[in-house]
Chains A and B, each alone.
Chain A
Amino acid sequence: MIINQFLLLGAALFSIGVYGVLSRRNAVLVLLSVELMLAAVNINMVAFDRLNQDVMAGGQVFALFIIAVAAAEVGIGIAIVLLIFRNRRSANVDELDLMKL
């Protein structure tokens, strides 16, 4: 196994996630794309951890913290989406155009 196969997989998933954030209109789908980006970060973190042979397992611990924070973020995100939906029956980002840019 060479290290770059893991790194390139992570980079590919991250780029796909960025594409999703930029191209999606539905708030839930944007959030899913962000989760994809975080998964890519985790793959890279763990791969680098193994590459560096970190005695303190810093990369793996960081991945665990990222998972915890991502779960909290999703909780808030779904709550906000629910709030929006209750107010205006839609979860699409750019239908929310009360204010112009």
Chain B
Amino acid sequence: MFFAVTVGDWLGEVENWVFAVLAIAMVYAAIRVVTTKNVVHAALFLVIALGGSAAIFLLLGAEFVAWTVVMVYIGAVIVLFLFGIMITRAPLGYETKLSHPRRVRIGAALASGALFLLIGGAMLDAFGDDPVPAAIDPTRTSDIGQSIFERFVIPFEVVSFVLLAALIGGIVIARQDPTVEEEEVLQ
């Protein structure tokens, strides 16, 4: 047996109730993201899944990461997605051609299920019912700042490489150029 903790003990802690509600909501939202027939709904369900992950970070005492997720993901990335969906004028109603045919979907489900069993099995085997280290203080943001600017300063600078490449790339790709015929006329 992996677990010495009984279900009753587990439910005795208030945090676990919070966790259970969050986990059920997140898994449901995630399943809807990959199965819904409406593109806009998929993006909105992703908001629920990501908001849940921010709450999980709070439970784990990682406050700075939690608020970063809220601001960057829910504040910016999802808006970008919705922009993309609106501009490409994807039908707002239900559409049947968003997924591959059933044969492909069954294969995908088998593959991802096997992956889950593999990883989950390894995790249960390794950590069993190890508790989260008791009475952890939330990580202070100043500690994270210290860590980023001392130990991780080179990767931090490298983020600027990534962002510069993404900036140039976004401009280059999305900019509307004259078509071939127009270019010939110009020349």
Contacts and interface: CB of A to CB of B under 8 A. Distances in A.
The short answer to whether A and B are in direct contact, CB under 8 Å, is yes
Interface of A: 1-9, 11-20, 22-26, 28-29, 31-33, 35-36, 39, 42-43, 46-47, 49-51, 53, 56-58, 60-61, 63-65, 67-76, 78-83, 85-86, 91-92, 94
A29 B115 CA distance: 21
A43 B124 CA distance: 17
Contacts, number: 250
Interface of B: 5, 10, 13, 15-16, 19, 23, 26-27, 30-31, 33-34, 39, 42-43, 46, 49-50, 53, 56-57, 59-62, 64-65, 68-69, 72-73, 76-77, 80-81, 83-85, 87-90, 97-100, 104-105, 107-109, 111-113, 115-116, 119-120, 123-124, 127-133, 136, 139, 143-144, 147-148, 151-152, 155-156, 159, 162-163, 165-166, 169-170, 173-174, 176
Chain B interface, >50% SS class:
helix
B120 A8 contact: yes
A35 B139 CA distance: 25
A67 B19 contact: no
Nearest to B16: A1
Contacts of B13: 1
12 contacts: A2-B127, A18-B108, A18-B115, A22-B111, A24-B98, A25-B99, A28-B39, A29-B98, A56-B152, A58-B151, A67-B72, A67-B73
A47 B60 contact: yes
B107 to A, nearest CB: 7
Contact of B62 (A11, A13, A60): A60
B174 to A, nearest CB: 4
Chain A interface, >50% SS class:
helix
A43 B53 contact: yes
A94 B108 contact: no
A10 to B, nearest CB: 9
A39 B97 contact: no
B56 A43 contact: yes
B23 A16 contact: no
Nearest to A31: B81
B108 A92 contact: no
